[in-house]
Amino acid sequence: MNWWEGRGSKAHQYMRLALDTDPGYRFARLTDQMLGAGIIAGWNTNKDTAYKTRLDMP
């Protein structure tokens, strides 16, 4: 969810916690590699489609 909302650093922290708990967790490992490569959600590259909180909305 953090990655989806444009918070890659926070998502990376959670993936590291998951891997510390279970180093064999393949989804966490692949997601962590994706985050490490700087891959962001495509919709977050456009201000009109990027995730918005209630505070960001008019």
From CA 17, how far away is CA 11, in angstroms rounded? 10
Cβ atoms of 28 and 20 within 8 Å: the answer is: no
Residue of 36, 5, 6 lying closest to 19 (CA atoms): 36
H/E stretch holding 27 reads helix 26-36
18-40 residue pLDDT tens: 999 999 999 999 988 988 888 87
From CA 18, how far away is CA 46, in angstroms rounded? 30
38-54 residue pLDDT tens: 887 766 666 776 666 66
Supply the pTM of this predicted model.
0.65
Q: Calculate the average pLDDT of the chain.
A: 81
